[in-house]
Every structure is written in C-alpha cells, then in structure tokens.
Amino acid sequence: MIIPEINPQHAEIIPVQRRRLNTRSGFIAVKPNCSIQSYVPAISALMDLKPTRVIVSTYQAISGAGKTFERWPEMVDNVIPYIGGEEEKSEQEPLKIWGHIENDQIVPAAAPIISAHCIRVAASDGHLATCWMSLDKQVSKEEIIARWQAYEGLPQKEHLPSAPMPFMQYFEDPSRPQTRLDRDFERGMGISLGRLRGDSLFDWRFVGLSHNTLRGAAGGGVLSAEFLCHAGYIPFK
C-alpha cells in the first residue's frame, strides 16, 4: 500500500512478494483508501515530531460511492452519518503507510492512535477532513505551515508526470479550503490545507481537502504506476 510521496520505500517488499507468489515479474501494489488522502500527507510532514493522537472527521463526496446526484437523488440537501467500512480504513491504513519493513513484512506503526468518523455529504467530488492532533514535540504554527508548503516526496524530486508541484498548499483565509473551489488544485492531485490553530484538548487542529476520484483514486493509481516504473519494478516496453 503506497502513497509515492510518503512511503515509496515499501516497494522494497515486492521481491519478497514475488518469492512468495512464485513469480518473476508480476506483483500486487495498491493505493490506500481515498478517505485518508486529505489528512495523512499533512501529518506525514510532521512525523519526526512524533504525533501521538489523531481525531479525524471526513466529509466525503458522493462520487466516492460511485454515484451522481441524478443517480442518488436522496443525497440532495442531505448528510448521511455513516459510510460502511470507511472508519476502519481511516484508522488502520495510515499506520500501514507509516510502518516499516521488518523480517520481510510491513509492520504498522504503533502511533499515532487514530479515531475516525466518516460522513457522506452532498458534494459531487472532493473529500474534506477536520483533524485534531497531539504531538510529542513542541512546534510553532509557522513551522508547521512551512513544512507543509515545502514538503516534497520522491514524485516531486524526480518530476514524475502526474506529480503535483507543490504537493500541498496552505490557505490563510479561514474560509478555505472549500470543496468546490479547491478540489482541483494541481489537476486534482494536490492537497489543500487551512485553519491551522491551537486546541484546548489536542495540540493542533486543521482542515484538509483532497480530490477523491483523482488523487484518491485514478490519479493516485497512475502516480503509483509512474513511481514503480521509475523504480524499475515495471519494465519499459
């Protein structure tokens, strides 16, 4: 399970997988669930500050269910406070991505502990998340924003064709990011962040936004394939 900007090193498990499957060329690599794209990159830029606890609520567009308003008129002017299986994925998949390879296995990270609430909202595309986090190390608001804006993964450094440049943007305007206005940032492959501020229970809270059918689905799959080609796991023909 790979987000090329965050855990490209997990591709090193492919030779182990090939031995297990008894194949010389094929392998299985997946992209994570679209619901985590709006907050996992932001937290990934702060992992050396040791995040300990995360609460996230995702507000997910109807295209994530493969629907349009024409095909799902019940969603017009509506919110559904349950999406089957999403909360489990939102809590478990980030730990796999932040994990490490040990004894030919990917061992999930032990922290941060994540609690998620996933809600379906009346938006056509774009998953928005409100996120709270506690960090073991102190940091200023300015440093967090600077880290987000400067963050580069392998796709940016190697200028892969589908890589967003930059990966993340931050809005000072407290009314942004907005789903309709900002989901297409960097051709729908970038992450938009805003409303970073302190919190009375956690250290920080912020809002994140990603395009679920581009960064979260097809585009994320294409970027992963570009990375795997670049790393030599998919041969050029």
pLDDT digits (tens, 9 = 90+) for 95-122: 999 999 999 999 999 999 999 999 999 9
Domain boundaries, given as residue ranges, for the chain: 8-230
Q: Which residue has the tokens 């064709």?
A: 161
**Exactly one of 34, 118, 131, 211 is catalytic; which is it?**
34
Instruction: State the architecture of 8-230 in CATH terms.
Output: 2-Layer Sandwich (3.30)
pLDDT digits (tens, 9 = 90+) for 37-66: 999 999 999 999 999 999 999 999 999 999
b/e string for 126-151 if b means 16 or more Cβ within 10 A? bbbbbbbbbbeeeeeeeebbebbeeb
Look up 34 and say whether it is catalytic. yes
State how beta strands 127-135 and 168-171 pair. unpaired
Give the pLDDT score at 202. 98
229 pLDDT tier (thresholds 50, 70, 90): very high
Task: Quickly list DSSP for the chain.
Answer: ---TTT-GGGGGGHHHHHHHHT-SS--------GGGTTTHHHHHTTGGG-EEEEEEEEEE-GGGGT--TTT-GGGTT-EES--TTHHHHHHHHHHHHT-EEETTEEEPP---EEEEEEEEES-SS-EEEEEEEEESS---HHHHHHHHHH---HHHHTT-TT--SSSEEEE-STT---HHHHTTTTTTTSEEEEEEEE-SSSSEEEEEEE-TTIIIIIHHHHHHHHHHHHTTSS---
218 pLDDT tier (thresholds 50, 70, 90): very high
How far is it, in rounded angstroms, from Cα 115 to Cα 90? 8
Cβ atoms of 52 and 23 within 8 Å: the answer is no
**Exactly one of 10, 127, 131, 211 is catalytic; which is it?**
127
24 pLDDT tier (thresholds 50, 70, 90): confident
Give the pLDDT score at 25. 82
Residue 193's identity, in one-letter code, is: L
User: pTM for this one?
Assistant: 0.95
Angstrom CA distances, 65 to 61, 77, 87, 162, stand at 8, 17, 15, 24
Q: What percent of the chain has pLDDT over 90?
A: 96
For residue 221, is pLDDT > 80?
yes
For residue 38, what are its two tokens?
């709006």
Q: Which residue has the tokens 């992209």?
A: 31
